[in-house]
Copies of this chain bind each other. A is one copy, B any other.
Amino acid sequence: MKKKVLVLTGGGDCPGLNAVIRAIVKRASQESDWEVWGSLEAYNGILKDPMELVKLDFERVAGIHAKGGTIIGTTNKGGPFAWGVQNPDGSFRTEDRSNELLKRLKDNGFEAVISIGGDGSQKISKSLFEKGCPVVGVPKTIDNDLSETDFTFGFQTAVQIASDAVDRLTTTAYSHHRVMILEVMGRSAGWIALHTAIAGGAEVCLIPEIAYNVKKVAERINKRFKNGRGFVIVVIAEGAKSDVGEVFGKKSTEYGYENMRLGGVAFQLSEELKQAGCEADIRETVLGHIQRGGTPTAFDRVLATQFGVKAFEMVLQGDFGKMVAYKNNDIIAVSLNDAVKNYNYVSQKSYLVQTARGVGISFGD
């Protein structure tokens, strides 16, 4: 009987997930005594009754490296430590089903788990490892917000899509002398907005890490227009925050997760700017999930493939409790402990922010 590794994808999807899965399967096929299984929708597949597991062979992964999404589905709700259960009265509570998970893994002959996911998924993996689960983590975050890896796959694809959008907005902004606001993803980290603003040649970049002053933004825009026919591109992360402790007229503390959700930020900034004296025509674009769908860039495919091969090789070596990482132009393993310790915020002191200021991009501060 063959040894079995269980693969799962958790959290929001990300271009490159399929390339990781394919690489694991391809690499495993070179070891005659291993086979690869997928759990549908993160841990749901193995914790549900009946279980939903699928054998991942060559045919199933053929050509998937070029496809967005994940062939084994994903979810960003729950997990083994906070499994959602419905009460008799219809309300929900969560249960810790981690012991059940370990039991099922053992009962079904799984010798290892490769969990591909973001911050939350890595934390689950860390806790599972501490309970004895032989797990390898693969970092996945469109937001590039994991501190122990220089890049995660999916991020460059998101930036490329947003940068293409800026290119298109620029010609119409130029022709009509308008302000174009582009809302991109990034609730807590502004990496996508920052890279997009530099790549696209934007004038203003508003990110969660640097509180902005709407009057300064309006002044900056008006100044561009004063010197003749102008146009302005503003890139705003969905989690950008105003410096008066308010987001669009409400104290930021009043905002919960729901209000911070994708959409609306571009339209609301538009209103704010008008109130702050911006006279130019303003138009809004909300890229939404376009940023995390579709075929990955070559960069992300190469990175994801390296992650997948490395992850399986760590399984072969019994190198558990670690996460694959891209660090200093090499593929390495870091402890899950370290991986979840710090969040990767944009630092004011980074050379990237210095570059942005160097080409005249305003953060509204």
Contact = CB atoms under 8 A, between A and B. Distances in A.
A70 interface: yes
Given A73-B177, A174-B69, A298 B355 contact: no
Contact of A73 (B66, B229, B299, B329): B229
Interface in A31-68: 63, 65-68
A288 B289 contact: no
Given A63-B170, A68-B171, A286-B286, A309 B358 contact: yes
A116 to B, nearest CB: 12
Interface stretch (A97-105, A117-125, A196-204, A237-245): A196-204
Contact of A168 (B284, B294, B309): B294
Interface stretch (A22-30, A81-89, A106-114, A205-213): A22-30
Interface string A1-18: 000000001001101010
B292 A359 contact: no
A309 B229 CA distance: 27
B69 A171 contact: yes
A290 B169 CA distance: 5
Contacts of A358: 23, 26-27, 30, 309, 312-313
Contacts of A196: 298
A302 interface: yes
Contact of A167 (B66, B163, B306, B309): B66
Nearest to A201: B65
A355 B70 CA distance: 21
A176 to B, nearest CB: 6
Given A26-B359, A66-B167, A301-B163, A172 B289 contact: yes
Interface in A250-288: 262-264, 266-267, 283-288
Contact of A351 (B159, B180, B331, B351): B331
A363 to B, nearest CB: 15
A292 B199 contact: no
Contacts of A294: 164, 167-168, 171-172
A298 B199 contact: yes
A310 interface: yes
A360 interface: yes
Interface in A332-354: 351-352, 354
A91 interface: no
A351 to B, nearest CB: 5
Contacts of A27: 358-359
A362 interface: no
A188 interface: no
26 contacts: A12-B176, A29-B360, A63-B201, A66-B201, A68-B175, A69-B174, A73-B176, A73-B229, A74-B176, A150-B328, A151-B329, A156-B299, A159-B302, A162-B298, A164-B298, A172-B294, A198-B301, A198-B306, A199-B298, A199-B299, A263-B286, A264-B267, A283-B289, A285-B290, A297-B297, A305-B359
Given A159-B302, A169-B288, A172-B294, 7 more contacts: A69-B174, A74-B175, A150-B329, A180-B288, A305-B355, A305-B359, A331-B355
- Going nearest first, the 3 A-B pairs with the smallest beta carbon separation are A168-B294, A68-B171, A69-B171
